[in-house]
Structure 1
Amino acid sequence: MGAPAKRSDDSSKKASTGKTDVDQTTNGGGARSGNSSNEAAQESNQAKQGEPDKEQESSKGRGWKIFEDILLWVAWVAMVGFNGYAEVYHFNGTTVGGLARKVDLWIMPAGYVFAIWGVIYIALAIWLFRFCLAGPSRKRLGFLPFTLSGLLFVATCCLNIAWLALWHMERNFWALVIILILTVLAWMLYALVRRDATKAGTPTAAKALDWIPLSIYASWLSVATLVNAGYMVVAGHKVGNAVQGFATIIVVGALLAVAYLMNRHGKDWVFGLVVIWACLGIGIRIFSFAAVMGVLVIALTAVGAFLVYFPWSKFRVVRR
């Protein structure tokens, strides 16, 4: 009778011990579950705390871009506005055309050619609109609230105003210095944007809208720089017709040669169009007082245009 009772007590103890182990296991699992919940809660809190920081950084990023956008448009409006004011209200009592007629410069294009400025201003507005929409691709220049492209654009606008003012005041030397710097900066902006457009994974048509406006601008400034240089020389010295005629052929030929290189090797067909527009204007103006020379310049321009845009890559000389 005693032995069975003992076995019963042992069974009770084992059952009690097993229950205790289960309770401990359950409590341990609960503790681990509680710790995991606490860690998850802490990570969630940290993530929530990080969100305002990201929003603040994003807000700062948008802030400097908005500032740059406003300044770029102000610079564009100021440039276009001053050009319009100078022509309509005759800044310093004269106009660009009036000054051009004061000096008998053979490489000065006909008056209608300068209508290209209207095309340039519209093209720059298109470029500026696309630039402001670029968003994430715009990289800040150090601590300045600008991109390098934006800074160059503002500089060209300011120099454009300065050049026009000096031109109207007949400060020929300083006008030439300013337009030289302006032309260099315009080509720098063109090269920078062209490089970025090549890297970007955007359609070809969209890329073209990024660099074509700047090519028109820089190309015409190159022509205008040559005209300014010639104007300063002729205004300050007596230059004979023979010298001017020879110089005109050299200038037209050089411009067409550069246009060929730009189209063939630089894949820039816009430069050639601007050069042809200017050279035809030069020939037409010369034709009004020197018919033979005018025809020669127009013929040279026509031949140059053919050579610039002929599809050379499709025709190769076969050696025998």
Structure 2
Amino acid sequence: MADSNTHGAPRRTGADSPQPPETRAGGRAKDARDKDGGRERDVEMIVAWASFAALIVVMALAQAGVLVHVDMNDARQRVHSWFSAPRYVQLIWIPVYLLLAVWLVRVGNGRRRAKRLGRVRFTLLGALFTAACLVGVGWVFAWAFKNYPASVTLIAVQTALVWTLWFLSRRDDASIWGWAPFSLWGSWLIVETLVDVARAVTYYVSKDGAMSGTGQSVATIVLALALLAVACLARFRFDDWVFGLVALWSVVGIAIHLMDVSKFTAVVIIALAAVTAVFMYVPWKRISGRLGTIEPRRQESARPRRDARRAPDPSQSGDLRSGDGGASSHKDAER
């Protein structure tokens, strides 16, 4: 029989057949979504890095004394509270910013997949991080110009935002790079909050004269003890060992700074710090099995737990497969 393809046109195969309009439209829509998602990711990262850079610049200017404003007509501004970190203790801002930069790089590389906040171009972590940086810029200006009500309010808000970031990041990423930057940042902000509160109280109480040495000593010891107690809570309740390091670094620095003012206060704070360090970081499990019960349990990421719950049970799947096989064999036998 003669071939019906009389004009010599090549035959169409299934591989050469054109895609249906629905497939082409779906592919274009997917490409458009990918491009929009990439643009949104770029916008989020640009805003996050810009706010982070603004915080670093403003903090550097404040530490250099460029933004500091002191009213020499107000004698209370020349009265310093004992609970204040010396200049070298403030160097902790350097590792804080370095770890935050590493976290931002990891986020920019797409190692974290977080849901968008509705139609907003930010994830929850990105929005909270940007807000924390911008609030921190406002706090630096308020503190530099001695606006104590605003500075205490702003640093309290910033501390709450950072610890929210710590919670959300630790919930999904139990690695040290996921939560340690926010633990370091948040624990130091707690120290700064206590310093701001102590400075504000000293300023307003000194209206009729400087505070007595006894009052300053008691207040400083109480604040140091409270900070160390919170560090122990973080260590044994959440297995957060970074908080303790920041607390010890801060109180020891404050104590050394007070050696020329009140040796008694300095020695008491150093003794409290030593006891706390032994309590938090000595491997009690190696010393005694009974003492090992006070060590914290390791925190696991919530994501592996959710994946484990969603994974099918191998025994059940095996039973189902064997059941299907048995049914098939039974049907074959009947045939």
Normalising by structure 1, report the TM-score. 0.78
Match 1:151 to one of 90, 111, 127:
127
Match 1:256 to one of 228, 253, 263:
228
Alignment of 1:107-146 (within 5 A): 107-134=83-110, 137-146=113-122
**Alignment-derived partner of residue 17 in structure 1:** none
Q: Deviations over 1:131-161 (max 9, x none)?
A: 1112561321111000011111111111111
Q: Deviations over 1:219-262 (max 9, x none)?
A: 00001101100100001113322122122222212211221121
Change (3 A) 1:193 1:227: same
Match 2:182 to one of 205, 214, 217:
214
SS state at 1:316 partner: coil
- In 2: Cα distance, 1:91 partner to 1:243 partner: 30
**Alignment-derived partner of residue 236 in structure 1:** 204
**Alignment-derived partner of residue 203 in structure 1:** none
Residues 77 and 203 in structure 2, CA contact (< 8 A), matched pair in contact too: no
Q: Deviations over 1:255-294 (max 9, x none)?
A: 1122112112201110000000001011101112112221
Change (3 A) 1:71 1:256: same
Structure 1 or 2: more helix by fraction: 1
SS state at 1:265 partner: helix
How far 1:85 sits from its partner (Å)? 2.8
Change (3 A) 1:162 1:266: same
How far 1:101 sits from its partner (Å)? 8.4
Runs of 4+ displaced beyond 6 Å = none
- In 2: Cα distance, 1:297 partner to 1:226 partner: 15
**Structure 1: which amino acid aligns with 2:98?**
I
Residues 163 and 179 in structure 1, CA contact (< 8 A), matched pair in contact too: yes
Do residues 298 (structure 1) and 298 (structure 2) align?
no
Q: How many residues align?
A: 274
Do residues 317 (structure 1) and 293 (structure 2) align?
no
Residues 165 and 182 in structure 2, CA contact (< 8 A), matched pair in contact too: yes
Aligned-residue CA RMSD in angstroms? 2.6
Residues 132 and 158 in structure 2, CA contact (< 8 A), matched pair in contact too: yes
**Structure 2: which amino acid aligns with 1:143?**
R
Change (3 A) 1:88 1:292: closer
Do residues 269 (structure 1) and 227 (structure 2) align?
no
**Alignment-derived partner of residue 144 in structure 2:** 168
Residues 162 and 185 in structure 2, CA contact (< 8 A), matched pair in contact too: yes
Match 2:52 to one of 76, 98, 101:
76
- In the alignment, structure 2 segments of 5+ residues that lack a partner are 5-10, 71-75, 292-335
- In the alignment, structure 1 segments of 5+ residues that lack a partner are 1-22, 28-33, 95-99, 199-206
- In 2: Cα distance, 1:118 partner to 1:136 partner: 25
**Alignment-derived partner of residue 14 in structure 1:** none
How far 1:309 sits from its partner (Å)? 1.1
